[in-house]
A and B are shown apart, each in its own frame.
Chain A
Amino acid sequence: MIGYIPVYKKLIPVTLVLSLLLFVSMLLGLTIGSSGGTGAAWKLLLGLGEPDATLEVIVWQLRWPRVLLAATVGASLSLGGLVFQALLRNPLAEPYILGVSGGSAVGAILGILAGFSLFPGLTLSSFVGSLVVLLLVLLLNKSKEGNSDSLLLGGVMVNAFCGAIIMFLISVSKTAQMQKIIFWLMGDLSSAGADSLPLLLGVLPCFLLIFLLAQPLNLLLTGRESASAMGVNVAAIMLVLLLTASLMVSLTVCHSGLIGFVGLTIPHILRLLLGSDHRILIPACILTGASYLILCDLLSRSLPSQGEMSVGIVTALIGAPLFIGLLWRGRR
């Protein structure tokens, strides 16, 4: 038939190509860095040359956890963006722009102040924070159905408010374990370590669940009543998707702070390339989002002449102009 390739015939090549992209990004993330030559790192990975204990520690104990964290956070944020865009039927929705990330950061900081451990206490308080914001966003969306500006404006304000609360809480607290303000406001992957593992275990089932709901999500995009009339249990599916996406986002915020615009950039590019079918978009978003944040993190590690900068700076430098461009195009 003209213009149609069955889903399974499209899914397999797309997944293969994007997996390859992820693999290459991971290799680059492992081999490029401020210390140790890139060539030596390649040799280490390939098992050639003299064993170098220092480099081995750098590659496997410093870079590898960081690459894994970047991949998980990138995948979660871009998938979160995709889900929010679909559920709110607004192509500009994204966890950071909506303020959902900010809400979970406030939740996480309150959790730290209350002396919670990373898991499950901190994760839960961060999840509650994201849900509070999400509820607010949904109420705002309900009262002004179809008005995307009010949704975005509300998100911007929630974000500013959350930012202020974060700075306030960190400024007045005397807790030594609190990370620096910039970690929470711009996002940063330097905390990667062994305790990032629960994050991976937490988000993988979320990925699977969202993938299983891909076709109902497609139907939802044509309208709630229309989806319902075609056999979709709209209320249940929306609830599950919103909870899952928020959980995913809050899990990542606990480990990486606020990294913005990933959930806008990746779904948007993929929609242009692959169309609107979420059965393709969901796996594509996971793989590409993971590659994207590994590469952004690589830039944030290697661009500054001294030390490193927050990865959130890189994602915002790329994502914010794209957002403005989309807004501009939508206006015309």
Chain B
Amino acid sequence: MSLIEIRGVSLQYDSLPVIKNVSVEVEQGEFFVIIGPNGAGKTTLLKALAGLHPLFAGEIQIRQRLIGDYSRKELARTLALVPQQINADFPFTVVETVLMGRYPHLGLLAVEGKKDLQLAEQAMEFTEIAHLAGRRLGQLSGGERQRVIIARAVCQQSKILLLDEPTASLDPAHQLRIMDLMERLRHREEITIIMVSHDLNLASTYADRLLLLKDGAVEKIGTPRQVLTRELLSQSYGCTLLVDENPLLGTPRVSLVSEKVASTISNEQGHL
């Protein structure tokens, strides 16, 4: 039995269909990446997994239990969501924010004990933000803030991590840092990772399997090698993409090809 089973799920947004009859299973410990053009419904699907979007049709089961049957706190103990951004208008400190991850584990008054503080400390060391503990969120850079959100999710101790474009707007060094962090989490804590990303090369390097969404429907599910092909990508994204092999890793490598170059080459060679 798979850890997560999505069966025939359709989702609507303001009565417009966003996700149409999607079925997919994710295994324990898998690094699963959802890709697809803008507006394909990637984030909406992720939110539905987190129980934040009502299902129009179909069902989602986690550990063979419908997500509708979980209480909010139970669901939060089962999976943690890492949104792209969190609101920083109110000046919480880094450690206060990370400690919020303990909420689903605490009682009515939600007062954290020594153990919770230790977990927060570990999560901050793990994400390399311990030195920022007393700083306010508004004073941090984008990469630091992203790591705070991840630390909060780590502190939540859920075995499933849902990430919404965690590397968007980060420079390559910070992208790598976040992705390596994910790898370590997966190996050390046996965490299952489901990530939405626009970065096809990161997806190719780190993912076990990919889900390519187009117009809310499944275009292809499979390993990076099966999904990241020139035909499939160019057709889904509506532009010419060059796919060759990463000389170091042997994984598919995706490059952008400008329209002008694409037309010149196809005229000369008949194909790309």
Interface presence of B135 (CB below 8 A): yes
Q: In the complex, given contacts A1-B120, A214-B110, A232-B72, what are 16 additional A-B residue pairs having Cβ atoms less than 8 angstroms apart?
A: A1-B117, A2-B134, A3-B94, A3-B133, A4-B96, A4-B134, A6-B112, A86-B90, A215-B100, A216-B110, A218-B92, A223-B86, A231-B74, A271-B91, A276-B90, A279-B109
A229 near B92: Cβ-Cβ < 8 Å: no
Q: How far is the CB of B190 from chain A (nearest CB, A)?
A: 21
Q: Given the complex of chains A and B, what is the CA–CA distance between A279 and B110 in angstroms?
A: 9
Q: Give the number of chain B interface residues (Cβ < 8 Å).
A: 45
Query: Which A78-119 residues sit within 8 Å CB-CB of chain B?
Result: 86, 89, 91
Tell which of A1, A91, A277 has the most Cβ of chain B within 10 Å: A1
Q: How far is the CB of B93 from chain A (nearest CB, A)?
A: 6
Chain B residues with CB below 8 A from A275, complex form: 91-93, 96
Quick one: closest A residue to B50, CB to CB?
Answer: A229
Interface presence of B7 (CB below 8 A): no
Interface presence of B252 (CB below 8 A): no
Interface presence of A240 (CB below 8 A): no
Q: Give the number of chain A interface residues (Cβ < 8 Å).
A: 32
Chain A residues with CB below 8 A from B96, complex form: 4, 218, 275-277
Q: What residues make up the interface of A, taking CB atoms closer than 8 Å to B?
A: 1-4, 6-8, 86, 89, 91, 212, 214-216, 218-219, 221-223, 225-226, 228-233, 271, 275-277, 279
Interface presence of B95 (CB below 8 A): yes
Interface presence of B52 (CB below 8 A): yes
Interface presence of B195 (CB below 8 A): no
Q: Given the complex of chains A and B, what is the CA–CA distance between A215 and B112 in angstroms?
A: 11
A231 near B103: Cβ-Cβ < 8 Å: yes
Q: Given the complex of chains A and B, what is the CA–CA distance between A30 and B12 in angstroms?
A: 62
Interface presence of B174 (CB below 8 A): no
Q: What residues make up the interface of B, taking CB atoms closer than 8 Å to A?
A: 47, 50-52, 72-77, 80-81, 83, 85-87, 89-97, 100-101, 103-104, 106, 108-112, 117, 120-121, 130-131, 133-135, 152, 156
Q: Report the 4 A-B pairs with minimum CB-CB distance, sorted nearest first.
A: A3-B134, A231-B76, A215-B110, A231-B104
Q: Given the complex of chains A and B, what is the CA–CA distance between A296 and B256 in angstroms?
A: 67
Given contacts A6-B117, A215-B109, contact A229 B134 (CB under 8 A): no
Identify 18 residue pairs between A and B in the complex whose beta-carbon atoms are under 8 Å apart, listed by A's number. Answer: A1-B95, A1-B120, A1-B121, A2-B130, A2-B131, A3-B134, A4-B117, A4-B133, A6-B112, A89-B90, A218-B92, A221-B87, A222-B86, A222-B100, A229-B80, A230-B104, A231-B73, A279-B110
Chain B residues with CB below 8 A from A233, complex form: 72
Given contacts A2-B134, A212-B109, A223-B87, contact A228 B92 (CB under 8 A): no
